[in-house]
Amino acid sequence: MTKILVIEDEELVRENLLDLLEAEEFQTIAAANGKIGLNLAFSEIPDLILCDMMMPEIDGYGVLTTLRQDPLTATIPFIFLTAKSAKADFRQGMDLGADDYLTKPFTRAELLSAIVNRLEKQAALKKNLLSTQPASMAFSPKMQLLEVYLHRLVKEEKFQEFELYYQPIVDIASGKIIAAESLLRWQSPELGSVPSLEFMQLAESTGLILPIEKWVFTSICEQIHIWQDNLDFLSLTINVNVSGSQFYSPDFIEDISALFINNKFAPERLEIELSESLIMQNLNNAIATMSKLRSLGVKITIDDFGIGYSSLTNLKELPINTLKIGRYYIHNIDSNSEKLELTKAVIQMAHSLNLRVVAEGLDTEAELDFLRQYNCDAMQGFLLSRPLPAAELENFF
């Protein structure tokens, strides 16, 4: 049900508006002044706001200005209701970002027409913005709620709600832990535990990914700095997944270099994981950036190899260290001849290019026996360990 916030200081006008809207089966919330209206806007996130222009303390202009400055409320359709009809008043409201302007007295038909038009335009805009997202995310109320809380987390810098987990990567021949892949977890006070796949895709699509990944990199580098004084952890590499937004950012290399200097640890302790599709977005730029990372001493992994669409010809041109074979190929590999032959070919090809091969998503001893037989270098998966908080990884190590 569409939720409409009415901000109006005249009680009779406010009650008449609420009766009219409820008769049309809109969900309504009401505020008697601008301050209450702003509090309700931020807590309820309505689908549309009707706001009187002339109110004591915070007038309609002040309400609109505040809403448009906050990512949580910046795109909510906003309609002014006012007895002022001067062109200058109208122009000021529209310049501040109002979507429409109704001069009192207005008819029921005029009000409903303005509301329906704004809601239809907003729906069309959302459809256009969401058309590039996976179908499972489009128009999902859950994802819309996630977006609200994710915006708030980033805006208020509540990064303590995040926690980094680490899944061990083990050398198959020796059984030693050689690396750990970092994975982000979000424990929201309001939503509980949120799967990383859900909120990271959402963060990428809404432009929130950069501040989140900046926090991730900073936290990982601080953790590596702590661990480097531990002889057991001295050779452990930490793998970090990187989004396209961060990888293609013009400041990416400079930011990475600054982290090494500030945290005083060897760059080879860090391994960047990139997806095939990310690299193929702009192959030449990707190769240039990867070459700069390698010149710093950073290692590079292609994640989920075989799931994307890079060719073997492109592969030998890439300045990388490691190939990761995704779980799709590893799952039940002992009983699937097609997966078996493909995985054998990838391992042989990678070794011919002097690349290390890591198989991820291992669940069974049979899968491990196959990988050992065909000289896969390393593995990770629930067969060995689930992702662990830093303290538990220390105990596991």
Residue 366 lies in a domain: yes
Show the tokens assigned to 141.
Answer: 């109320």
Show the tokens assigned to 16.
Answer: 């008449």
- Of the three residues 95, 130, 165, the one that is the final residue of a domain is 130
Residue 19 lies in a domain: yes
Same domain membership, residue 227 and residue 374: yes
Same domain membership, residue 122 and residue 220: no
Name which residue leads in pLDDT, 68 or 64: 64
Same domain membership, residue 301 and residue 222: yes
pLDDT digits 0-9 by tens, 186-209? 988 888 888 777 788 888 888 889
Same domain membership, residue 288 and residue 202: yes
What DSSP element (H or E) covers 130? helix 108-130
Same domain membership, residue 213 and residue 104: no
Q: Structural domain of residue 110, as residue ranges?
A: 3-130
- Of the three residues 109, 130, 151, the one that is the final residue of a domain is 130
Band (pLDDT 50/70/90 cuts) for residue 320 is very high
56 pLDDT more than 90: no
Same domain membership, residue 170 and residue 37: no
Mean local confidence (pLDDT), 142-166: 88
Name which residue leads in pLDDT, 132 or 114: 114
Q: What is the pLDDT of residue 379?
A: 94
Q: What is the pLDDT of residue 132?
A: 45
Q: To which residue do tokens 């702009």 refer? A: 282
Q: Do the Cβ atoms of 151 and 73 come closer than 8 Å?
A: no
CATH of the domain at 356: 3.20.20.450
131 pLDDT more than 80: no
Q: What is the pLDDT of residue 4?
A: 93
- Of the three residues 105, 130, 155, the one that is the final residue of a domain is 130
CATH of the domain at 78: 3.40.50.2300
Q: What are phi and psi of 295, to 5 degrees?
A: -65, -25
Which spans in 250-336 are helix H?
Answer: 252-263, 276-281, 283-296, 312-315, 327-330
Q: Do the Cβ atoms of 233 and 269 come closer than 8 Å?
A: no
Three-state DSSP class for residue 273: strand
Same domain membership, residue 239 and residue 374: yes
Residue 124 lies in a domain: yes
Same domain membership, residue 159 and residue 106: no
pTM of the model: 0.64
**Chain Cα centroid distance, residue 183:** 13
Same domain membership, residue 205 and residue 73: no
308 pLDDT more than 50: no
Same domain membership, residue 373 and residue 252: yes
Same domain membership, residue 125 and residue 162: no
Domain count for the chain: 2
